[in-house]
């Protein structure tokens, strides 16, 4: 999230914060038992289903993404916000992949409620529920407590129930309409669609990979196309207080018009990645990116999955914070930069340290899906893809939670927005440790590390 903190935190205060924030890089520790699917099912069914629901707020609520807005309420809608759910049945295991036109994944309470319900109503144990990172969606962090949202922002609290119901309905609907499917993956390296917005040092890393998963039914009709790409959806001015999916909405609409398949967008490691739009507006950019996705999808040749399988590991890791959230002066500065009711909810989330969630799935033995609950710099994804010896690795940022920026160590050393402790409170080196854990899990799930 962009903020006014760079203007508000004067050098003396920054020195205080840095002094308070010094901490050694911790060894990640698990806080719950990792969930692992059975090693191989005897069923040979491979099915897919897709469904969508509208998740646009019906009332004016604070908007997510730019600190300069503070608590200004939304004034309408440029284009609708949607939840698109893809459910995969591999053998006897189900996986939900949900792309949301929101700034982040739902907050922890909402996430757990959604997961509880899709397990009870559709038998889905595992899920990637991720925001596209549009900066024109609603604030999701408020809670039903005095001073944290209750009373002033009751419309936002009502919206959370609306959002949860819609996401659950999309997932349950997709699960109820599973059909036998064929699948293919493909990718292309795109130039001039994203750029590194952080570093001033050459070479500037950018994850150029546009990756797709295509699902067809057994007759060859396209069912769904999942698109994975890394670029910040910040194409619309912060002063615009109307909801929008940004370029992602135009991308999905164009893919669906050209192919007849439902489009699901999953944001990548976009922490330091902006769009490279040139003179294009957000609609034109989304359509241009969609045309590349369609070409890539058309080049893929879906095949019958002979040995469907799904293996999943998930856990929350724990790291120390570079910010002292017990310091009233620090809290006051954040409240001034954003708005008073928002910040106590972040403090509650971080009271036991920064605890990002990591989700790793191996689909059909050779496709890796990696979900992280934050804004990871692109070199994290680039290096993980290089190190993981799989057919394709899909990197889902902003997934299953949100714990702000995870810069690389060298980015922290350089400094700048996204690498500084004001918006990246997690300990230096946490991103690398999360990626090392993901790599180890990939090889464990593939049976290459015992």
Residue-wise pLDDT tens digits, 90-149: 999 999 999 999 999 999 999 999 999 999 999 999 999 999 999 999 999 999 999 999
What digits encode the pLDDT tens for the residues 211-267?
A: 999 999 999 999 999 999 999 999 999 999 999 999 999 999 999 999 999 999 999
Looking at residue 43, its pLDDT comes to 79
Query: How do strand 303-304 and strand 179-189 relate by DSSP bridges?
Result: antiparallel
What digits encode the pLDDT tens for the residues 170-181?
A: 999 999 999 999
pLDDT at 70 over 90: yes
What digits encode the pLDDT tens for the residues 395-414?
A: 999 999 999 999 999 999 99
Round to whole Å and give the CA distance between 266 and 263: 10
Taking residues 282-286, what's their average pLDDT?
98
The pLDDT-based confidence of 29 (bands split at 50, 70, 90) is very low
Round to whole Å and give the CA distance between 245 and 236: 10
Range of the domain at 25: 5-445
Looking at residue 349, its pLDDT comes to 95
pTM of the full predicted structure? Answer: 0.92
Decide if 390 is inside a domain.
yes
Looking at residue 167, its pLDDT comes to 99
The pLDDT-based confidence of 35 (bands split at 50, 70, 90) is low
Looking at residue 130, its pLDDT comes to 99
pLDDT at 17 over 50: no
Decide if 289 is inside a domain.
yes
The percent of residues above 90 in pLDDT, for the chain, comes to 90
pLDDT at 196 over 80: yes
Looking at residue 21, its pLDDT comes to 39
Q: Please name which of 123, 64, 97 lies closest in space to residue 367, comparing C-alpha atoms.
A: 97
What digits encode the pLDDT tens for the residues 75-92?
A: 999 999 999 999 999 999
Decide if 450 is inside a domain.
no
- Domain count along the chain: 1
Lowest mean pLDDT among 43-47, 145-149, 168-172, 354-358: 43-47
pLDDT at 2 over 90: no
H/E/C letters for each residue in the chain? CECCHHHHCCHHHHHHHHHHHCCCCCCCCCCCCCCCCCCCCCCCCEEEEEEEEECCCCCCCEEECEHHHCCCECCEECCCCEEEEEEEEECCEEEEEEEECCCCCCCHHHHHHHHHHHHHHHCCCEEEEEECCCCCEECCCCEEEECCEECCCHHHHHHHHHHHHHHHHHHHHHHHCCEEEEEEEEEEECCCCEEECCCCCCCCCCCCEEEEEEEEECCCCEEEEEEEECCECCCCCCCCCEECCCHHHHHHHHHHHHHCCEEEEEECCCCCEEECCCCCCHHHHHHHHHHHHHHHHHHCCCEECCCCCEEEEEEECCECECCCCCCHHHHHHHHHHCCCCCHHHHHHHCCCCECCEEEEEEECCCEEEEEECCEECHHHHHHHHHHCCCCEEEEECCECCCCCEECCHHHHHHCCCCCCCCCCCECCCHHHHHHHHHHHHHHHHCCCCC
| Average confidence score pLDDT of the chain | 92
pLDDT at 15 over 80: no
Q: Which of the pair, 44 or 243, is modelled with greater confidence?
A: 243
* Residue 350 CB burial class (10 angstroms; 0-12, 13-18, ≥19): middle
Decide if 135 is inside a domain.
yes
Looking at residue 42, its pLDDT comes to 58
Lowest mean pLDDT among 13-17, 344-348, 398-402: 13-17
């Amino acid at each position: 999230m962009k903020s006014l903190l760079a203007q508000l935190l004067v050098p003396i205060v920054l020195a205080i914060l840095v002094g308070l924030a010094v901490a050694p890089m911790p060894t990640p520790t698990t806080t719950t038992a990792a969930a692992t699917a059975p090693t191989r099912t005897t069923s040979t069914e491979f099915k897919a289903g897709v469904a969508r629901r509208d998740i646009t707020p019906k009332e004016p609520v604070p908007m997510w993404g730019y600190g300069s807005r503070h608590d200004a309420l939304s004034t309408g809608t440029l284009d609708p916000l949607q939840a698109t759910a893809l459910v995969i049945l591999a053998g006897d295991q189900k996986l939900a992949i949900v792309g949301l036109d929101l700034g982040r994944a739902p907050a922890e309470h909402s996430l757990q409620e959604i997961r509880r319900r899709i397990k009870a109503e559709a038998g889905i144990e595992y899920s990637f529920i991720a925001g596209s990172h549009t900066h024109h969606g609603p604030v999701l962090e408020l809670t039903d407590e005095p001073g944290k949202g209750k009373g002033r922002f009751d419309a936002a609290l009502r919206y959370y129930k609306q959002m949860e119901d819609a996401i659950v309905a999309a997932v349950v609907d997709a699960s109820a309409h599973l059909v036998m499917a064929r699948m293919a993956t493909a990718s292309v390296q795109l130039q001039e669609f994203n750029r590194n917005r952080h570093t001033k040092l050459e070479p500037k890393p950018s994850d150029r990979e546009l990756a797709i998963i295509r699902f067809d039914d057994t007759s060859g009709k396209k069912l769904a196309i999942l698109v994975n790409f890394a670029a910040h959806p910040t194409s619309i001015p912060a002063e615009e207080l109307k909801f929008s999916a940004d370029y992602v909405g135009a991308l999905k609409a164009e893919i669906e018009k050209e192919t007849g398949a439902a489009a699901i967008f999953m944001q990548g490691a976009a922490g330091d990645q902006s769009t490279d739009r040139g003179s294009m507006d957000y609609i034109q950019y989304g359509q241009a990116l969609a045309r590349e996705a369609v070409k890539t999808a058309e080049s893929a040749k879906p095949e019958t999955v002979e040995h469907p399988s799904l293996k999943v590991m998930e856990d929350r890791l724990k790291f120390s914070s570079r910010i002292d959230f017990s310091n009233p002066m620090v809290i006051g500065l954040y409240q001034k930069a954003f708005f008073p009711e928002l910040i106590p909810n972040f403090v509650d989330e971080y009271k036991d340290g920064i605890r990002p969630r990591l989700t790793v799935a191996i689909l059909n033995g050779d496709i890796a899906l990696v979900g992280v609950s934050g804004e990871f710099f692109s070199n994290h994804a680039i290096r993980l893809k290089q190190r993981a010896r799989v057919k394709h690795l899909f990197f889902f940022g902003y997934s299953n939670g949100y714990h702000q920026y995870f810069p690389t160590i060298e980015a922290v050393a350089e400094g700048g927005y996204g690498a500084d402790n004001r918006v990246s409170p997690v300990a230096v080196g946490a991103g690398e440790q999360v990626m090392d854990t993901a790599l180890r899990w990939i090889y464990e799930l593939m049976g290459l590390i015992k």
